[in-house]
Chain A
């Protein structure tokens, strides 16, 4: 079972490497060689420098010619994008350009919206997730999601994290305890809440709630983590904590993050994809895209001329 297998994953403590993500920004933008502390010098941690390097990486998710329709309205036009495993891919673009729509295609949350339609293929590893008879429940356990606005269940902190494993059929209390603790540690929340796991999650601060939602998503043992503007409703300090967290989580998970904020994309991601009016205009290594955009639209967007 995925959940127990995941217990072999490396556990990263929040204190070990927290500041890295934030310091990255200025370096990346001025395109100096990034300096990383030893903890980050792992295969997964190194930022790929060139498009060629990105292309060589194994792909966790591959979207090919994806079109998406809300009824008559086509929200995505022929999207082709590979998401490299154990790296962070950021989706940027002006609001309404289809970032969230694309993200929700990856765990088929769009299925829940009446009258929508998908064309093209999306592979998770080598399986087409839109193939008939695909079990979306199984898919969503492997592709977790964190929403823009934190949305903990009106239950205890413990029950929030234990929910995913529970609905997957985990009954044993010890196993659940272990998962809850591990996921709270992974999401750097454990120290803050370890004494009040049985209090309502709604009493946590906004930033804590969002980290709880991340912990909750980790508890199903996903391979991929989708994040839709996870920090947009948070204050700067909480935002920083969530960004640090993303930086650590990519050792274990493949992350796709939607962000409105280009600095954030530059800080946390390895690959960036720029969407505009439902088209994928350009995708490439983050540092390349921000310093040497190939397309005029991309350049105009990142230099703040629109959006």
Chain B
């Protein structure tokens, strides 16, 4: 093809330009990957030595060398566990309603547009909502429950949109077959649609939970503390903190030794996140192949 263009008089450089352009685009891609590589390399190099069991099971301390991440780590696990418990049923329920119950009406268009826009609202704004609603009005304070409710609102659009996509991927013939056999709407959803769309829904759930795990801004806005001495016992009342907040706090300290601790905490956070991501990719790969319509 390029030889054809080369034959044209007046454009002797065309094939070369074309080649150069391809190389430039490829270089862009390689540069992006290099950025990712450099970022991971630097962080792992900086924090690796600091990472040990004492670090993971240690309590916070004003001495950077003695500090550990037990409290924020457990706080983060409580937080995403509770977030999952709230956001997954509500999000999947909303997706099921929109896909299977809502007629093609104005009402549905409104909800759908609304969800698309919510997905673009900055997470700090959700934090302000959480502050006004859960912390103040409902009076949950700076508890895990208040944090999880706020975080649920942050990830709800992601859960809904991915579950909708998964439900839409189930062929209409499955619905028709089920209804034609005298199944009710809910039976069709429960026995056919949800099982068939489960891999897609799970992928979305994992991605939204990894978002919840890494988010710090909404937690800052609702006033979650950065230094907490004890693992929370009562999820409704006790103060808690989360891993990204701890990283934020340590990064903000001028002392270099805190930066090492922050790097070690980032390694823990990224390991969990990349593990979750890999699980999502695996699920999509495995189940995506199994069901071939």
Contacts and interface: CB of A to CB of B under 8 A. Distances in A.
A and B touch in the complex (CB under 8 A): yes
Interface of A: 107, 109, 112, 114, 137-141, 144-145, 147, 149, 151-154, 163-164, 166-168, 202, 213, 216-217, 219-220
A86 B128 CA distance: 69
B177 interface: yes
Interface in B173-230: 173-184, 187, 191-192, 196
B159 to A, nearest CB: 23
Given A114-B104, A137-B184, A154-B196, A109 B179 contact: yes
Contacts of B196: 154
Nearest to A159: B191
Nearest to B292: A202
15 contacts: A109-B179, A109-B180, A112-B175, A112-B176, A137-B184, A140-B180, A141-B181, A141-B182, A147-B173, A147-B176, A149-B173, A153-B178, A167-B183, A216-B177, A217-B181
Contacts of A213: 177
Contacts of B191: 163, 166-167
B291 interface: yes
B103 interface: yes
A163 B181 contact: yes
B174 A151 contact: yes
Query: What are the nearest 10 A-B pairs in CB distance?
Result: A141-B182, A151-B173, A145-B180, A164-B181, A167-B183, A140-B182, A167-B187, A151-B177, A154-B291, A137-B182
A163 B178 contact: yes
Contacts of B104: 114
Contact of B183 (A139, A144, A145, A163): A163
A217 B176 CA distance: 12
A163 B182 CA distance: 10
Contacts of B103: 114
Interface of B: 103-104, 171, 173-184, 187, 191-192, 196, 291-293
Contacts of A217: 180-181
Contacts, number: 68
Contact of B177 (A137, A141, A153): A153
A225 to B, nearest CB: 11
A109 B182 contact: no
A202 B104 CA distance: 32
A140 B178 CA distance: 10
A107 B184 CA distance: 14
A141 B179 CA distance: 9
Given A114-B103, A114-B104, A167-B187, A220 B181 contact: yes
A305 to B, nearest CB: 34
Nearest to A155: B195
Contact of A109 (B176, B184, B187, B291): B176
Given A149-B173, A151-B174, A167 B182 contact: yes
Contacts of B171: 151
Contacts of A144: 180-181
Contacts of B177: 147, 151-153, 213, 216
A163 B173 CA distance: 15
Most A C-beta atoms less than 10 A away, residue of B191, B196, B292: B191
Contacts of A216: 177, 181
Given A154-B196, A154-B291, A202-B292, A164 B182 contact: yes
A151 B291 CA distance: 13
A163 B184 CA distance: 12
Contacts of A139: 182
A62 B32 CA distance: 69
Nearest to A109: B180
A83 B286 CA distance: 48
A220 B191 CA distance: 16
B166 to A, nearest CB: 14
Contacts of A114: 103-104
A144 B171 CA distance: 20
Nearest to A141: B182
A147 B179 CA distance: 12
B180 A107 contact: yes
A289 B175 CA distance: 36
Contacts of B180: 107, 109, 140, 144-145, 147, 217
